[in-house]
Amino acid sequence: MRVILTIGSTSTAMIDGISAAGASPAMMAETPAADAEIIEYGQPIGTGLTPVSPSGCPTPAVVTRAVRTLEQFETLILDAGTAAGTAAPTVSVGEQPGNDIRDEVAVPDASGVFERARELGTQFPDDELLIAESIPGGTTTAQGVFRALGESYDVSSSLQSNPVDLKRDVVETGLRASDLETGDLAGSPLQAIQAMGDPVLAATTGLVTGALETETSVRLAGGTQMVAVAALVRHAGRTEPIQLATTAFVAADETADLQAAATDLDLALQVTDPEFDQSEHVVFDRYRAGEAKEGAGMGGALALAEESDSPMATVREQIIECYEKVIQHGA
Amino acid sequence: MRVILTIGSTSTAMIDGISAAGASPAMMAETPAADAEIIEYGQPIGTGLTPVSPSGCPTPAVVTRAVRTLEQFETLILDAGTAAGTAAPTVSVGEQPGNDIRDEVAVPDASGVFERARELGTQFPDDELLIAESIPGGTTTAQGVFRALGESYDVSSSLQSNPVDLKRDVVETGLRASDLETGDLAGSPLQAIQAMGDPVLAATTGLVTGALETETSVRLAGGTQMVAVAALVRHAGRTEPIQLATTAFVAADETADLQAAATDLDLALQVTDPEFDQSEHVVFDRYRAGEAKEGAGMGGALALAEESDSPMATVREQIIECYEKVIQHGA
């Protein structure tokens, strides 16, 4: 088993009010790089930045790191195209951040990124891949891809209050800019990513495709962005079983009906509740309020902890310990 | 604790008869890339190549991987400048392979590689770094650096029979090409690397320097190439304690007096014997005959196994298991 975090950037995240994956739009550019460093080293050693939301919610990468220290799973950071360099070791499958989906083309090299990731996906000796993402703005691009494919699912949000109207407007503008109507790219996943997606969607869809081709089990670790990956893979005609491991926070988000999408796309849904209400530590405050919810493999890592019978109390203690190390170092 | 494998290439390895780190000079170009893949994934997933010596001795990376599966230490592959790409995740501190040391300049960007690695070396949150190498031809460049620094130590060899005369000739030609006499670069480690070293020496010397600057403990994991790193660091004026963890095979090599060099350079020497004579499996045959001896962190990994009280019999079983997975995949 290997946990793969795919990192990337999209200019879509720079739209004011669209994402909570960074204290400001400028700092959001560093979030994927810092998430990768936290998972690999336990501290944001290169960026020097602890990703927090504007209200101070720490990145879910801290949760993934905490579980990694307990379970010692092997990791891989896959760079799909990021705006900021990382001090974490990476395999690169793309050089360019994605454009704003309101531009005509969102991911110019979607096929190249997909193909390099697909080839890598065929090569792992592991029985199972757990595939996660870190890309601010990623739920908006996911919604863009759903509409291009003609799927009516809605997406969740890293913000406490999902800016659904803003996302709808952005997606509609994006479709128009690409000269598309809803559903025009049903059955054409690569074109949907190119027009309305982001580099992480291109890379993870490639990885999953390669893994399924070689009979490697796939568990998507994330929320509605990972539902978009599943939709893309299904639109490519693949029918193999796929699991989706996410958090109770995403499952509870009423703006996105995760269960319906999972049923529709034939995903085995695995929801883990880290019981953050059992602790009063500040690291859990904004999560309890409904922020962040998921990302950087959080739901998948929690699922691994649950499967190995690590008590959630131990996981929470480890999260506190990791958080304290992270903020010691980060700005 | 983190194990860092620094990979790189030098054209010095292409000199006929100089190295056993590959079945042929052409295949040697792939050895560092494949070693990194074996340590990260358990198989040479991108190169498709299992590094073996001309007589079939499998790469010591298999030993490091075996211990990693037992001890679950965290790893980092540092790319100092390699001739062949790797599917392992890397942090890059150099883009160019090194030249043949018989050229005027061996490592054109020695200071750049050193400085980037030094900065990284200051950033790790780990208490201790275990620093290893994979670079075919690396004992010859090490000897070149010793002579440039005016140190009289001799180096070991990955070959059963150390080609000492050939190495001496190559080093003498190299000194002349750089317009140097023995000892001309005493106290000038970066110039010594630039004239007579390789990219891995530049990067590991930088890493060690950065780590020592920030009070991180350093354990060099390797044979006489790592003695060269220690000499370079001492010539830079650093006096902190440094450990050197190597195998009983290097310690037993009469062509290199490891103990004398360690005493002279104030290195705490740690020699681990994996007792390969206790098993008749083919994977150990060429090691018992005196080939390979060290490399890709083997001695350091064995030291970690010994410290955690893993019986060497368990380590050997794990080596056999890892070897079988590697050759299943590799050519």
Q: Are B234 and B146 in contact (CB under 8 A)?
A: no
Chain B residues touching A329 at Cβ < 8 A: 125
Task: Mark out chain B residues that contact chain A at CB-CB < 8 A.
Answer: 40-43, 45-46, 72, 74, 76-77, 87-91, 120, 123-126, 325, 329
In DSSP terms, B272 is beta-bridged to B247
- Return the number of other C-beta atoms located less than 10 Å from residue A86's C-beta: 23
In DSSP terms, B98 is beta-bridged to B10
Angstrom distance (rounded) from CA A1 to CA B119: 33
Q: Are B175 and B148 in contact (CB under 8 A)?
A: yes
User: In terms of pTM, does the model score above 0.90?
Assistant: yes
Q: Burial, B127: exposed, middle or buried (Cβ in 10 Å; 0-12, 13-18, 19+)?
A: exposed
Q: Which residue of B41, B90, B125 is in closest CB contact with A41?
A: B125
Angstrom distance (rounded) from CA B27 to CA B24: 5
Q: Are B211 and B218 in contact (CB under 8 A)?
A: yes
Angstrom distance (rounded) from CA A142 to CA A124: 26
Angstrom distance (rounded) from CA B289 to CA B56: 12
Q: Burial, A257: exposed, middle or buried (Cβ in 10 Å; 0-12, 13-18, 19+)?
A: middle
Q: Are A303 and A221 in contact (CB under 8 A)?
A: yes
How big is chain A, counted in residues? 331
How far does B244 lie from chain A, in Å, by closest CA? 24
| Interface pTM, i.e. ipTM | 0.92
Q: Measured between alpha carbons, how far is residue A183 from residues A45, A145, A148, A175, B234 in Å?
A: 43, 10, 5, 10, 67
Query: Which one of B77, B79, B91 makes the best mutation probe of the A interface by having the most chain A beta carbons within 10 Å?
Result: B91
Dihedral, CA atoms, A210, A215, A217, A222, nearest 10 degrees? Answer: 20
Angstrom distance (rounded) from CA B146 to CA B148: 6
Q: Are B61 and B33 in contact (CB under 8 A)?
A: no
CB–CB contact B45 A329 (8 Å): no
The order of strands in the sheet holding B2-8 is: B91-92, B74-81, B2-8, B128-134, B217-221, B242-247, B267-272
The CB-side HSE value for A28 (13 A sphere, CA atoms) comes to 24
Angstrom distance (rounded) from CA A243 to CA A129: 10
- Residues with Cβ within 8 Å of B322's Cβ and at least 6 positions away in sequence, in order, are B38, B42, B62, B65, B66, B69
How far does A266 lie from chain B, in Å, by closest CA? 30
pLDDT in tens, chain A (331 residues): 999 999 999 999 999 998 888 888 888 999 999 999 999 999 999 999 888 988 889 999 999 999 999 999 999 999 999 999 999 999 999 999 999 999 999 999 999 999 999 999 999 999 999 999 999 999 999 999 999 999 999 998 888 888 999 999 999 999 999 999 999 999 999 999 999 999 999 999 999 999 999 999 999 999 999 999 999 999 999 999 999 999 999 999 988 889 999 999 999 999 999 999 999 999 999 999 988 999 999 999 999 999 999 999 999 999 999 999 998 875 5
Angstrom distance (rounded) from CA B57 to CA B293: 10
